[in-house]
Amino acid sequence: MPELPEVNTFQRYFDETSLQQKIVEVEVSDEKILRNLSGPAFRDRLINRTFTGSYRRGKYLFGELDNGHHLLLHFGMTGDLNYYQAPEDRTRFERFAFHFNNGFRLGFDDPRKFARIVYIEDLPAYIDEVPLGEDALRISEADFLAKMIGRKTSLKGFLLNQGHLAGVGNLYADEICFQARVHPGSVVDAIPDEVRVRLFQKMQEILQYAVDRQAYYKEYPEDWLWQWREEGRPGPDGIGVMERATIGGRTTYFCADYQVFYGH
């Protein structure tokens, strides 16, 4: 599933292609991913509207409309955007498309139909209802540390909880733990204060690095965990071997001899 850096790339694409253009038609090919409106109702709500901006919070991208409402574009595992003009450039699994007054279209492609499209009249109320924590790149160090106080869960579970922190998924959570040299199964409440600060700093560094490179993995450094995500492979600097376990409900890669475990 796309994490914060990937969704930030979607946001750039959306902003560069689809803002300040009147929607003159809405074509719905498959309404399954529309969560709170039927296909005809979705068309009625969006036709003659204009996207005036966007807002990203973690893995959630919200298109801002000229009537003050928002459209959630949650990409699931396989969602994608396609801005095109010629009909032959329409993607195979396009579920709906906005036709703009400049002759172009913005199609939403989703082969596996795991995306969620929600029409939202009150964005703050929706974020509270989800609930959705502060964006992992916008949260302050003080707020991040405050959320760790008294937590008895695993570090991996804490990082993945979108109600605490929005945007960190499975791969980046492993990367944060790896670079901070903290075992992902560590109990949050047992992690020393100075290590918690290091976790925050690594989270910010890693996510910003990925955002700056538009989540293009081939440009990530060779010493990132991506290079060691293989069980039994020698760990970094020849220390230990890589292990795999289920932590926080997700498959997790780590090197126990390289990453310190903190527990009670």
Residues 124 and 195 in one domain: no
pLDDT of residue 201: 98
Residues 52 and 88 in one domain: yes
Q: Tell me how many degrees the CA angle 209-255-230 measures, rounded to the nearest 5.
A: 80
pLDDT of residue 80: 97
Closest to 176 in 3D by CA, of 191, 157, 192, 198: 198
19, burial (CB in 10 Å: exposed 0-12, middle 13-18, buried 19+)? middle
Residues 112 and 199 in one domain: no
Fill in the DSSP letter of residue 247: E
Q: Could you tell me if residue 215 is inside a domain?
A: yes
Report the alpha-carbon distance of residue 34 to residue 15 in Å, rounded. Answer: 22
- Final residue before a domain boundary, out of 84, 101, 129: 129
Domain with residue 54: its CATH number is: 3.20.190.10
Domain with residue 214: its CATH number is: 1.10.8.50
Residues 147 and 239 in one domain: yes
- Final residue before a domain boundary, out of 69, 99, 129: 129
CA dihedral 222, 228, 234, 236 (to 10 degrees): 50
Residues whose CB is less than 8 angstroms from the CB of residue 7 and which lie 6 or more positions away in sequence, other chains included: 56, 58, 59, 60, 61, 75, 167
Strand-pair partners of 105: 84, 99
Structural domain count, the chain: 2
Q: Could you tell me if residue 10 is inside a domain?
A: yes
State which residues of the chain have pLDDT below 70: none
Residues 180 and 218 in one domain: yes
* Boundaries of domain holding 81: 4-129
In 245-258, which positions are buried (b, 16+ CB within 10 angstroms) versus exposed (e)? eebbebebbbbbeb
Residues 9 and 119 in one domain: yes
Residues 231 and 194 in one domain: yes
Say which residue the tokens 């946001």 belong to: 11
Residues 205 and 243 in one domain: yes
- Final residue before a domain boundary, out of 107, 129, 151: 129
pLDDT of residue 93: 97
| Residue 50 contacts residue 22 (beta carbons within 8 Å) | yes
